[in-house]
Amino acid sequence: MTSLLAVEGISKRFTVSRGMGGGTATVHAVDDVSFSIAAGETLGLVGESGCGKSTVGKMIVRLLEPDEGRILLDGADVTHASYRAMRPLRRKVQMIFQDPNGSLDPRQRAGDIVEEPLIVHGLGNAAERRRRVADLFARVGLRPDQMGNVPSKFSGGQRQRLAIARALALQPSLIVADEPVSALDVSIQAQVVNLMSDIQKEFGLAYLFVAHDLGVVQHISDRVAVMYLGRIVEIGDTAVVYHRPSHPYTRTLMEAVPRPDPARRHSRVRVPRGEVPSPLNPPPGCTFHPRCPIATDICRRERPLLRRVASGAQAACHHAE
């Protein structure tokens, strides 16, 4: 079966200034990342800030071009497709951002925001487009009388609904959602998460759900990929990665999440040690080895590759069974 999206060994390097006569340095923001997403599936992409998860999302929607590797959509290589060639492909892949304020034109009316992609892609006549916009408003839980309002008249949750309506306008098969609920109030997050689940079922959408909130990701994802310093360290079915993590970093991450259960407070096995090293100067071998409780010599020398482990997931660890 062809995957809807196949990402093969993509890398992205950024050149940064070291400041004050230090010259420049290269950061491997994303280093040889591969995964695939099937139609209708949700892959959660988690990791701490600077791990490269957002950069991966941006490469898939082509806001950034990978330095290496390939991105295949429905089997077609779109890695370096020209802007023109990208056009039909853009219909298939849409993006939702963390901060809808940054992605919605503050002077544009809400109805026009949702209609714009239809105009750009030459879909339907004016009457058809208006009907489609009305349908989309209803589908995401906005009122028809809100079409004339500018985004600032909307609450944070409603703005995210508006961004979702715009993303749905072209009937995409994949939506890359970068921290779609993390800027929302807690009581609003569940509404948006449920809306995303509902439209997924209804339209057979696939999601790449990029987030740092492990609870939300567990709830919405079929599979999860864990990133650390630009690399995927573990990828597999959500229940497996969460409950039987094979990579020591995944274990550390899962154990570090605070749980809303006061009884559990004193049962924490261990607090993670050390800090994420600078991506400017990552450790050799396995980049997690300086913090890893089970690291040995080989971990300091050789980079572990992702491989199938006993749990059924894939993990990049020399010592995973």
Partner 1 sequence: MKPLLSIEGLTVELSTRDRTFEAVSDLTFGVSRNEVLALVGESGSGKSMTAMAIMRLLPEPVAEIVSGRIMFDGIDLASAGEATLRGIRGNRIGLIFQEPMTSLNPSIRVGPQVAEVLRLHKGLDADAARRRVEELFEQVRIPDPRRRYDDYPHQMSGGMRQRVVIALALACDPDVLIADEPTTALDVTTQAQILETFRDLQASVGAATILITHDLAVVAETADRVAVMYAGRIVEETTTERLFAAPRHPYTHGLLGSIPHVAEAGEAGVRERLPEIEGTVPALWALPPGCAFAPRCPRAGERCATERPPLADIEPGHRAACWYPVEAAA
Binding site for partner 1 (CB under 8 A): 48-49, 155, 157-158, 185-191, 193-194, 197, 212, 214-216, 218-220, 238-239, 242-244, 252-265, 268, 271-272, 275-276
Nearer residue to partner 1 within complex by CB, 120 or 190: 190
Q: In what order do the strands lie in the sheet with 314-315?
A: 93-96, 174-178, 206-210, 42-46, 223-228, 231-237, 314-315, 307-308
**Cα–Cα distance measured from residue 4 to residue 304, given in angstroms and rounded to the nearest whole number:** 28
Nearer residue to partner 1 within complex by CB, 84 or 265: 265
Strand pairing report for 174-178 and 93-96: parallel
Q: CB of residue 126 vs partner 1: minimum separation in angstroms?
A: 32
Nearer residue to partner 1 within complex by CB, 72 or 239: 239
Nearer residue to partner 1 within complex by CB, 19 or 75: 19
Q: CB of residue 133 vs partner 1: minimum separation in angstroms?
A: 22
**Cα–Cα distance measured from residue 108 to residue 88, given in angstroms and rounded to the nearest whole number:** 25
Q: CB of residue 2 vs partner 1: minimum separation in angstroms?
A: 26
**Cα–Cα distance measured from residue 250 to residue 52, given in angstroms and rounded to the nearest whole number:** 16
**Cα–Cα distance measured from residue 96 to residue 167, given in angstroms and rounded to the nearest whole number:** 7
Q: What are the residues facing 43 on neighbouring strands? A: 208, 223
Q: Are 181 and 150 in contact (CB under 8 A)?
A: no
Structure tokens given for 143: 């009122």
Nearer residue to partner 1 within complex by CB, 107 or 201: 201
